[in-house]
Amino acid sequence: MDIASLSTALSMTKVNGDIGVLMLGKQLDAMETMGDSMIKIMEQSVTPHIGGHIDVSV
């Protein structure tokens, strides 16, 4: 294998790795946004006054 083709192969490997890292970063940002949205939805669905007082008669 000559130096030129080896250099090209290593360069392409680096580019592919960089693209992979960028895509994972975007995916992480999207997951964080979805998680924040889910937390907001769960907070809005909570009704704190229900179950706070229990009347028990035997």
> What are the φ and ψ backbone dihedral angles of 37, each rounded to 5 degrees?
-65, -40
Q: Residue 52: its pLDDT value, please?
A: 67
Nearest to 14 by CA among 22, 25, 4: 22
Q: Residue 56: its pLDDT value, please?
A: 79
- Sign of the four-CA dihedral 10, 15, 18, 19: negative
How many helices (H) and strands (E) would you count in the chain?
A: 1, 0
Q: What is the pLDDT along the chain (58 residues), one digit of tens a residue?
A: 688 889 999 999 999 999 999 999 999 999 999 999 999 888 887 776 776 677 778 7
3-state secondary structure of 26: helix
